[in-house]
Structure 1
Amino acid sequence: MLRQFLPISALLLGSAFLLFGGGINALILPVRGSAEGFSALSLGLLGTGWAVGYVSGCIMTAPLVARVGHVRAFGAMAAIAAISILFSAIMITPWAWILLRGICGFCFAGTAMVVESWLSDQVAPASRGRVFGVYTMVNLAATTAGQMMLTLGDPNGFVFFAWAAIFYCLALVPTAISSSSTPVPLASVKLNLRSLWRNSPVAVFAVFWVGVSNASFATLAAVYAERVGLILAAVAVFTSVPILAGALMQIPVGLMSDKMDRRFVLVGVAVLALAADLGFLLLAPEGRMLNLVLAALLGGSIYAMYPLIVAHANDHAEPGSSIQISGGLLLTYGVGSIIGPLLAGYAMAEVGLRALYLVTAFSHLSVILYTIWRISRRVAVAEAEKTSFQPATAGRTSTLQTMPLGHVEDETELAPKAV
C-alpha cells in the first residue's frame, strides 16, 4: 500500500499545507473581526464573499489552466491567496475583508482543483477509493489542525495572518518540484437547472437549502461561540468538532442509504439537524459542554447531507452523466452558500445572536417537508439500480475535480477484457 502513496505524497502534502492555511484563515477572520467590533451582518458577508469567489473559481479555473498550465496556475493562485491574507492584516475593515475573502475563495477553489486533477491522473481506478479516503482524511485533519492553532497565541496580532500566508506558500512547493507528468484537463461543468430538476427535484431543492444552512453555520459559528462567552480554545473546538462529527456520520448514513430509500435517510438526518437547531434556540446554552454536544449533533447531521443528496441524484442520472449531475449540484450548493451567510448575518444583527439557528432550522424544516411530499409523489429507485454512496468532504470544500477523484469505477469495468 505504501508503494501506492509514495508517488502522490507530494500532492497530499501540498493539499495538507493548503487546508492548514485555510483552517487558520477561516477562523482568524470571524474571531478577529468580532474583537474589532464588526457587525454580525458584515461577518456573514465574509461567508458570502468566500462562496462567490469559490463558485467562480470552480467555473473559471478550467479555462485558465488550459491556457497557462497546471503548475503556473497553481503557483499564481497560491501566491494571490497568500497576498490576500496578508492584506487582511493590513486593511482591517469589513468591506476590504469581504473582497479579500472572495479573492481567497477563488484561489482556494483553483488550487484545490489542480491538486485533485493531479491526483486523479496519478491514481489507477482500482485504488481510487482508497486514495480518495486518505485525501479526505488529510484535508479534514489539516483543516482541524489549522483551526486549533489559534489556541496557541493572541488572535489580535499579525502572527496568525502570517502563518496562514506561510502555509499557502508552502503548498506551492511540492507541486512546483514534483516530477509527475502533466495532469489531465480539468473538469468543466455548466449549471443547467432544468436538467438537474428533471433528474431529481429533491436533490436540487435540498442541496440549495443545505448550502444555506451549512455556509451559515460554517461562517458564523465562531462568532456565536465567541459572543456566547466561550474562551478562544473552546471556540476553536466548537468549530472543529462539527467537521469531525460530519466525517464520522458519513459511515452510518452511507450504509443506511445504500440499503433503503435515500430520501427517508435524508429526512432522518434533517430531523437530527433540526433537533440541534431547536436545542440552541430553546435551551439557550451558555456553558461549554452543552454547546459542544449540540455543535457535534448539528455538524454530524449537516455535513453528512451533501454526499447523501449527490448519491440520490446519481441514482436517477443517465449513464455517463453522473459527473455533470454532481458538478451541477455543487454549483447549486454554492448559490445557497452565497445567500446563507448573508441571511444569517442579517438575522443575527436584527434579532439576536441565536438567530443563526433560526436560519438553519428553517432550512432543515424546508428539506424535511419537501422531501416527505416528494416521497408521496415518486417511487424509490430499485436497490439494484442504485449507485454506491461515496463519502465526501463538506460541499463548500468540494470542487468539480472532487467528483472524478472520488468516483470508483464499477468492478466489471476493472475486470480484464476477454480477447
Structure 2
Amino acid sequence: MSHADTLGQSLALPCGITLKNRFAKSAMSEALGTIDNHVTPALERLYGRWAQGGTGLLITGNIMIDRNHTGEPRNVVLEDERDMTLLKRWAEAGKNQGNDIWVQLNHPGKQIPRMLASGDTLAPSAVPFGKELKSAFKTPRALTEDEIFDIIRRFATSSALAKKAGFTGVQIHGAHGYLVSQFLSGHHNRRTDKWGGSLENRMRFPLEIYRAIREAVGPDYPVSIKLNSADFQRGGFTEEESMTVAETLANEGLDLLEISGGNYENPAMAGARGVRESTVKREAYFLDYAQAIRKRVSTPLMVTGGFRSAQAMAQAVESGATDLVGIARPLAVEPDLANRILAGQEGVISRVTPRKTGIKMIDEMAMMEVSWFSRQLHRMGKGQDPKPDESVLLSLFKVITEMGIGSFKTRRLRANS
C-alpha cells in the first residue's frame, strides 16, 4: 500500500462511529475566545480551514469546564448554553467535509499563571511547583471532596452541552500536568483519603469523570482521554502506572486513547529535547509506549508528538503501534497537509522547523516556539494564511503582551462579577 492508501483508511471506534481517515489534529490551545471566555467566529473560521484541509478528526484546544479556573486568558469555557448558537456553527464548520470534531475538556488545577489567578488555585494537594516555576504559579489549595464531586459533575455537564451543540465526541485532558494529570501523579497527589495514595485511589478521579461523561452522553458517543505515557518527574506518574490506567479505562469502554507525555516542569510534549536520536529519526516521541500498551489493550490508539513526514506516519500505522497519527504544529503552518498526502505527495515534509532567535536564553524557553505557532492559529482565525517566515521574536513579544493584558482584564472582570 502507498502512504496515501494507509493513511486514507477509515477507522471504526468501539462506540460504533467511523473516522474518515487516520489523520487527527491534536489539541492546541487557540486562546481565541473573548476576554470573558465566550466562543468567537474566529474558531469557526479556523476549524473550517482545517476541515477543508482533509484531517479526519479535529480535537479542539482545551475548553475549560469552570469560568473561575482557566489556564490562559481567552480560553473558551463550556458550562451552560449561553454560546449555543456559536457552538453549533463551530461544530458544523469542523465537520463540513465529513470530518469529526471533538471537544477537549480540561481543568487546569494549579497550572494557572499567577498573573491570571484571581483566587485560590486548586489541586489534589497543596504541593507547589519546583523552584524554576514557583514564582510564576501560586501554591495551590487542596480540593475538598465536595469540590472534587463538583468538578466531576462539570465534566459531565460540559460533555452533554458539546453533544447538544453538534460536536461528535469529547476528550478528557488527562496529560501535561493539568488537574487530571495532577491526581494521577504521586508527586502532586499526596492525599490520604480515597482520592490519593495507591494508584487505585489516584486514578479514581479520571475513572469517575469518564463514568459521569458516559452517563451524560450515552453509549454511542465517542469518549476519549489524552494520557501521559509518563510525567518524566521524580515521584511522578510512571509508565507502568499509565498502562494500568489505560487498561482500566479500556475495560470501561473508552473509545480512543491519545498518548503524550510531560508537564510544565518537564515539557516532553513541547519538542525533541532530551529524546533519543533513534526516536527523533522515527518521528514519534511516544511510539515505544504505544507498542507496549498495544499488547495490553484493544482500544484504538493515537500517538501525538514528532511526526513530520508521510513515510513516518504511514509506517507507524502499518506497524500496528498506532491507529491515528496525531498532528499539531504541522497543521498550524500547513492546514491542508492531510489532503496533500492523500493526493500522493508522499515526499511532503512539513515546514515545522525549529524556531530560533539566536539568543540562547530565549531559545531555551518552552513558550518561545509555542508562541510562534499560536500566532499562526490566530492568523487563520482571521481568515488569513499562515506566515512561515514570521519573526519568532515578534511573535513572542506579541503573545506575552496579549497574555499580560488579557490576564489583567480577566482578573478585573472576575473581581467585579
**TM-score normalised by length of structure 2:** 0.30
**More strand per residue: 1 or 2?**
2
Structure of greater relative contact order (alpha carbons < 8 Å, 6+ residues apart) = 1
**TM-score normalised by length of structure 1:** 0.30
